[in-house]
Amino acid sequence: MGLALGLALHRSGAFASLAYSGGRADPPPHPLFEGDPSPVLYRAGLEVPPGDVSGIVLAVPDAAVPAVAEALAGLPLAPAIPVLHASGALSGDALAPLAARGHPVGGMHALAAIADPVSGADRLRGATFGVEGEGEARALAERIVRGCGGRVLIVPPEGKPLYHAAAVFAANYAVVLLGVAERLMAEAGVPPEEARTALAALAGGAVENVAARGPSAALTGPVARGDAETVRLHLARLSRADRPLYSLLAREALALARDAGLPAESAARVGTLLNGADQPGT
Confidence grade of residue 279 (pLDDT, cut at 50, 70, 90): low
Share of the chain above pLDDT 70, in %: 98
Is pLDDT at 280 greater than 50 in this prediction? Answer: no
pLDDT at 144: 97
Q: How many residues does the chain have?
A: 282
Average of per-residue pLDDT across 136-153: 97
Q: Is omega for the bond preceding 50 within 30 degrees of 0, making it cis?
A: no
Q: Which CATH class is domain 2-155?
A: alpha beta
Specify the DSSP class assigned to residue 28. P
- Contact between 153 and 129 under an 8 Å Cβ cutoff? The reply is yes
Confidence grade of residue 266 (pLDDT, cut at 50, 70, 90): very high
- Gap between the Cα atoms of 105 and 171, Å rounded: 27
Q: Measured between alpha carbons, how far is residue 73 from residues 65, 100, 140, 153, 274 in Å?
A: 12, 9, 19, 28, 54
Is pLDDT at 281 greater than 80 in this prediction? Answer: no
Backbone φ and ψ for 57, nearest 5 degrees, come out as: -120, 125
SS3 call for 118: coil
The pLDDT tens digits of the residues spanning 230-259 come to 999 999 999 999 999 999 999 999 999 999
- Gap between the Cα atoms of 55 and 119, Å rounded: 24
Q: Where are the domains of the chain?
A: 2-155, 163-276
- Gap between the Cα atoms of 246 and 249, Å rounded: 5
Is pLDDT at 48 greater than 90 in this prediction? Answer: no
- Contact between 83 and 58 under an 8 Å Cβ cutoff? The reply is yes
The pLDDT tens digits of the residues spanning 163-174 come to 999 999 999 999
Average of per-residue pLDDT across 182-191: 96
- Contact between 53 and 81 under an 8 Å Cβ cutoff? The reply is yes
SS3 call for 251: helix
SS3 call for 154: strand
**No. of H helices and E strands in the chain?**
13, 7
Specify the DSSP class assigned to residue 82. -
What value does the mean pLDDT of the chain take? Answer: 95
Q: What is the b/e burial string over 167-181, where b = at least 16 CB atoms within 10 angstroms of the residue's CB?
A: beeeeeeeeeebeeb
Fold of 163-276: N-(1-d-carboxylethyl)-l-norvaline Dehydrogenase; domain 2 (1.10.1040)
